[in-house]
Amino acid sequence: MGNKKYSIARDMGQVGMPDWPSEALTAALKTVDVWIEIGAACMLYSDIWETVMRENKKVRYNILADSTIPFAAC
């Protein structure tokens, strides 16, 4: 697979790390109050997730990955 970037991560957690802009995501997520993941490949237990959970004590995290709930634009 090499360094090819995909439009969607190849899998969840640590396996998806090569496909995410990890430095930018980590920096941004360390400053948020709420993190809601909606997608097919969640970051749970990745280096991004571990760092954010360790360093951002105020974050509330929820995963709606592969949810059967239809999301409509408001």
Tens-level pLDDT at each residue, the chain (74 residues): 455 555 667 788 888 888 889 999 999 999 999 999 887 788 999 999 999 999 999 999 998 877 666 665 54
pLDDT confidence of residue 72: 58
pTM of the model: 0.76
H/E stretch holding 61: strand 60-63
In this structure, are residues 53 and 61 in contact, taking their beta carbons and an 8 Å threshold? yes
Domain boundaries, the chain: 13-63
pLDDT confidence of residue 7: 65
pLDDT confidence of residue 1: 47
Look at residue 38 and give its three-state secondary structure. Answer: coil
DSSP state of 66: T
Which residues are bridge partners to 34 per DSSP? 60
pLDDT confidence of residue 21: 92
In this structure, are residues 11 and 40 in contact, taking their beta carbons and an 8 Å threshold? no
> Residue 64: which region, alpha, beta or left (left: phi > 0; alpha: psi -120 to 50)?
alpha
